[in-house]
Amino acid sequence: MASGLPSSIKRSYPDSKLTWLVEAPYKSLVQSHPYVDDVITWPKSDWQRLVKDKQYWQLCKTVWAFRQHLQQQHFSVAIEAQGLIKSAFFAFISGARMRIGFKSKERSHILLNKVVNKPTSPSISSEYKKLAFYIHTLVNGTSLNAKSEVRYANAISAFDYDMCIAVSEDKAKSAQATAATLGLDTPYIAIAPFTTRPQKHWPLTHWQTLIALIRSETTMPIAILGGPKDAAHAEGLTFDNDDVVSLAGKVSLDESISLINTCFAFVGVDTGLTHVATCYKKPTVALFGSTRPYTQTNSIYTHVLFEDMDCAPCRRRPSCDAKYDCMKNLSPKKVFSSLLPYITSIPVKTKDVT
């Protein structure tokens, strides 16, 4: 959802050189962004290995060398867009005199010198939009504070911020080749059942019911997206049907994004792939529970479903003894009802149901 920052920054500073620091798995994706000039990779796994092997002196030397590499770029501004201590640390050691970012519970902002309060807004990317506006105000030598935030509220709301996600042509071709090999024909529906934390999952039995409901209405193939760790569960959702295809662990992140770009409709939990579907303005049903990153988007085709329970959103601190009722109570029929109007818009793919 931070993908709109580069274009916003370039509009405010058209002559700037924009470098994005990312973890290694995301390098190729960021390299394809049309407004990113350069990419620096953080070798996170190498650092973690040094910690695991207790090679602390080597770790110190490695971190110092990385610091020197950052400072050789002569950055004038560093932007910390996550509200995390690790990303604020990189802003701090970058050598940039101006370090901009969010005030956070991790107190990562103590490493910054320009701090922005995150807004309480139901809109997608609202925090990044506000951050982009803050950066824009610096062009005129102004900045936001408690009083000016109220004065600029309408301007922030109207500020142009567009998420932008691009995939290289090679990745797009390889994604289509893999899909064709596995028998995935277009148009198809893509689903993303998997994510990082259990409280964000929709029960697998619900996914099974949803797939059966889709199958009762259309012959359109279904593509299941996910990572290597999700492969076994994804295969279990296929029911050994040829028209329900598991791509979990068989395509990269870039390729998954490319497949979302060419899908007909999408259903997913709170994961990056769901946000990508909204970015591409695909008919999207987003299933939120313990986390509710947004309820409003800039796409008329996105339907955010959630149970408005007293304990939700609990985020990282569930209080339900792992019952996760906020997700369980989202019925497959309700999800299917949001998807059905799009399915029935392709009569050639629709079954006769008696």
| 91 lies in the same domain as 197 | no
Q: Specify the pLDDT at position 349.
A: 46
Highest-confidence range of 149-153, 217-221, 237-241, by mean pLDDT?
217-221
| pLDDT one-digit tens code per residue, 46-99 | 999 999 999 999 999 999 999 999 999 999 999 999 889 999 999 999 999 999
| 303 lies in the same domain as 206 | yes
| Tokens representing residue 78 in the block | 């560093």
The H or E element spanning position 29 is helix 27-31
Is 330 domain-assigned? Answer: yes
Domain boundary among the residues 124, 158, 192 is at: 158
pTM: 0.85
Is 191 domain-assigned? Answer: yes
Is 212 domain-assigned? Answer: yes
Residue 160 has pLDDT above 80, yes or no: no
The DSSP bridge pattern shows strands 222-224 and 302-305 to be unpaired
Q: Specify the pLDDT at position 157.
A: 57
| 104 lies in the same domain as 186 | no
Q: Specify the pLDDT at position 151.
A: 52
Residue 158 has pLDDT above 70, yes or no: no
Residue 309 has pLDDT above 80, yes or no: no
In order of 106, 189, 275, 345, the CA distances from 299 in angstroms are 32, 18, 11, 18
Residue 156 has pLDDT above 60, yes or no: no
| 84 lies in the same domain as 230 | no
| 270 lies in the same domain as 142 | no
Q: How many residues does the chain have?
A: 354
- Structural domain tally of the chain? 2
First-residue to last-residue Cα distance in the chain: 43
Average pLDDT of every residue of the chain? 87
Report residue 318 CA to chain centroid gap.
22
| pLDDT one-digit tens code per residue, 321-354 | 777 788 899 999 999 999 999 988 765 444 444 3
d(CA 159, CA 199): 34
Phi, psi of 126 (to 5 degrees): -60, -35
Domain boundary among the residues 129, 158, 187 is at: 158
| 244 lies in the same domain as 266 | yes
| 60 lies in the same domain as 142 | yes
| Tokens representing residue 303 in the block | 């339907």
Phi, psi of 62 (to 5 degrees): -70, -45
Domain boundary among the residues 113, 135, 158 is at: 158
Contact 284, 302 (CB under 8 A): yes
Residue 196 has pLDDT above 80, yes or no: yes
Is 238 domain-assigned? Answer: yes
Residue 53 belongs to what domain range?
2-158
Mean of pLDDT values over 241-266 = 93
| pLDDT one-digit tens code per residue, 318-329 | 777 777 788 899
